[in-house]
Structure 1
Amino acid sequence: MRHTWRWFGPVDKVSVRDAAQAGAEGIVSALHHIATGEVWPVDEISRRHEEIKAGGLVWDVVESIPVSEDIKTQTGDWKRHIANWQETLRRLSASGIRTVCYNFMPILDWTRTDLRWDTRHGAKAMRFDLTDFAAFDIHILKRPEACRDYPEWLQQGAAERFSEMADAKIAALGKNIGAGLPGSADGYTLDQLLEKLRSYQGINRERLQQNLVDFLTEVTPVAEEVGINICAHGDDPPWPLLGLPRILSTEADYAHMLDQVGARANGVTLCTGSLGARPDNDLSLIASRFADRIHFVHLRNVTRDTDTVPCSFFEDEHLEGGTDMVAVIAALLSEEARRREEGRQDHRIPMRPDHGQEILDDLTRGAQPGYPAIGRLKGLAELRGIERTLTHARYGLQA
């Protein structure tokens, strides 16, 4: 695999040179300062390339070109936004980019209730606490009819939890859950979030699935034409939130998307952390089933409090948690070997160590939550160790 590292631009407190020292070969980045729905300017794309080259690496993957809420709901400026998405693909291809990640999660991107939760050994990790989330939804956001989405025992637990919350905890929940895309300055106040939720009235799971297919029907031919693989990131967490449908949470969800738009350029961002929050997702089997359409990989692990859907979970160390990382990497390496035999130019699948616990000097650096320097270095080293072992000439698969 090609080892990459997410970088949020010059504001990132973890530099490109840090990434190179950690063992990364390339950078995953985006133009977070460009408004969602607008075309990325050529000069801004060039500037980002130069910023990354100055640190000694190259820009390999775009994560992400945001998909606007207008596109997801097919309202407002959605047709113009699709045309702008297509044009951005053309401009990125002209600059040398060959992989573009995106997601189709309504309103909220990845959602956590705690961005720096204390682990057993003093590291900081991101956590989704189901009771805290229900307390936020019912008692802080006060979403109409929110109680319908939670069983009685969880409603009671949420009420008790809310009654004990300090003002600082209430404010932190609102900030954490209402945050926008990682690296962006976007986010929602409670009133803005409620207004956004109202814009999804009448859009059920089937309608959102069709809107995704409609989007892909428009953008995939352009991606094919300009030589870019586009790849959908899974829902995180992989179940409905705030009454909103989620449509890329399971193996069946991805199968539907890939069957409806069959071009190989339409593919998967395999995120073992997102899909791994569900006990019914077997990540090594998913990696094998969709191997030909996997264009980008996020490797991380989560530990679930219970094997229920939904559940509470936290982001564990990369080789801990519920996902068999050795089996997943073995499946990906087998696919790379198959691609090499076919002579495919994309035989090396870009991978990045996704998220990471804050350890050692990370605890005082103040980096983007989930994206510390040393925690990701540790994760990348562990993942590279698995790959090196599995591809050893004497013991494993051939590199």
Structure 2
Amino acid sequence: MIECWRWYGAYDTISLPEIAQTGATGIVHALHEVPYGEVWTSDAIAARRGEIAKAGFDWTVAESLPIHESIKRGDGNLSTLFANYRQSMANLAANGIRTICYNFMPLLDWTRTDLTAPLARGGTCLRFDQARMAAFEIHMLGRARAEDDYSHEVRNRAAIWFQQSNEADREALLHAIMSGLPGAFDRYDIAGLRGALERYDGIDRATLRANYKRFLDEVIPTAEELGMVFCVHPDDPPRDILGLPRIVSDADDIAWILSAVDSPANGLTLCSGSLGANPANDVPAIAKRFAKSIRFAHLRNVRKDPDGSFEEAAHLDGDTDMVALIRVLVAEEARRQEANESFAQIPMRPDHGHDLLSDLERDNFPGYPLIGRMRGLAELRGVTRALQQVQTHG
């Protein structure tokens, strides 16, 4: 696998020379400063790619080329947005970047309620707490029918948390929930979030699927022409959030997406943490079923609680058998190489690490510390090398 590292450019406190010391060779990056729906110009891409190359890396994956909310909602005449998206694709391809990771999550990207949950042996991690999410939806946001999405026990704990919280606690919760949005755009306060949710009124699972199918119809033929691959990122968490449907949460969803437009360019980002947060998902089994469509891998682990809460575990701990998962990816790479296929190597990056040691003293982008991800990359590298040896020598 191609060992990669997600880098946020000007928004990142971690420098490219520091990343070089981790051993990663590929950079996963996006032009986060460009507002959603506008074109990523060839000049801007070339300049960023040159900066990355000067530091000794390849810009391996564009993550993400974001999809405007109007496309997800299916608002009106979308011809300009689709044309801009296809132009950005062409500009990436012209600069040698041929793998695009994206998601189709309505309104919010990955969602957590705690950015610095303490770990037993020191350090912190990201956490999604079901009771705090319920407190946010029911008591802070006041979303209609939010109570229906939570158990009686969770609602009770949510009420207690809200009663005991102060304004700073509530601001911290809002900040955590908004922190999954990269770049400088689309942050919401409570009033702004209510307004954004209103624009999704009447959009159910079937409607969102229809809008997603339209997006694929608009971009996958262009991807084929450009020799690119698209890889959808699963929902995080893999469940409806804020009353909005999520449609990339399990094996059935993935099967629908890949069959909606049957093309090698229509692929999957295998995110073990996102899929692993759903108790019904067997992540190694999902990887094996859709192995031929995996174009990118995010490797991380989560530990789930019975009430639906979960937190980031160490990369080789948690509820997903990471060795079994990497075994699937190593076998798929070997199959592709034997068949002399394009995109034979799977780009991989260690996702969401713990904040450890000096990470605790720097203002990292939430979930993307230096030491924690370097630890994860080293562990994943060791497993991968061992399995590759077994694959080669038996």
Task: Calculate the TM-score normalised by the size of structure 2.
Answer: 0.97
Identity score, percent: 49
Shift of 1:58: 1.4
Aligned to 1:220: 220
Structure 1 pair 178–10 and aligned structure 2 pair: CA distance change class (3 A): closer
Give 1:40-189 correspondences, 5 Å limit: 40-76=40-76, 78-179=78-179, 181-189=181-189
| 1:361 aligned counterpart, secondary structure | helix
Q: 2:362 aligns with which of 361, 365, 377?
A: 365
1:348 maps to 2:345: yes
The 1-side partners of 2:384 and 2:183 are apart by 29
Give 1:288-303 correspondences, 5 Å limit: 288-303=288-303
* AA matched with 2:285: L
Tell whether the 8 Å contact from 2:331 to 2:391 is kept in structure 1 after alignment.
Answer: no
Q: 2:336 aligns with which of 331, 335, 339?
A: 339
Shift of 1:398: 5.6
Shift of 1:184: 3.6
Shift of 1:160: 1.2
The 2-side partners of 1:161 and 1:172 are apart by 13
Structure 1 pair 326–194 and aligned structure 2 pair: CA distance change class (3 A): same
Aligned to 2:23: 23
1:36 maps to 2:16: no
1:321 maps to 2:349: no
Tell whether the 8 Å contact from 1:233 to 1:269 is kept in structure 2 after alignment.
Answer: yes
Q: 1:320-375 CA deviation, whole Å, 9 max, x = no partner?
A: 10000000000011110110111112110000001100101111021111101111
1:210 maps to 2:210: yes
Shift of 1:241: 0.7
* AA matched with 2:326: I
Structure 1 pair 195–45 and aligned structure 2 pair: CA distance change class (3 A): same
| 2:89 aligned counterpart, secondary structure | helix
Tell whether the 8 Å contact from 2:299 to 2:315 is kept in structure 1 after alignment.
Answer: yes
Structure 1 unaligned residues grouped into runs of 5+: none
1:389 maps to 2:386: yes
The 1-side partners of 2:182 and 2:385 are apart by 31
Tell whether the 8 Å contact from 2:7 to 2:28 is kept in structure 1 after alignment.
Answer: yes
Tell whether the 8 Å contact from 2:111 to 2:180 is kept in structure 1 after alignment.
Answer: no
Give 1:206-285 correspondences, 5 Å limit: 206-285=206-285
- Aligned-residue Cα RMSD (Å) equals 1.3
Q: How many pairs were matched up?
A: 394
Tell whether the 8 Å contact from 1:180 to 1:188 is kept in structure 2 after alignment.
Answer: no
Shift of 1:180: 5.4
The 2-side partners of 1:338 and 1:45 are apart by 33
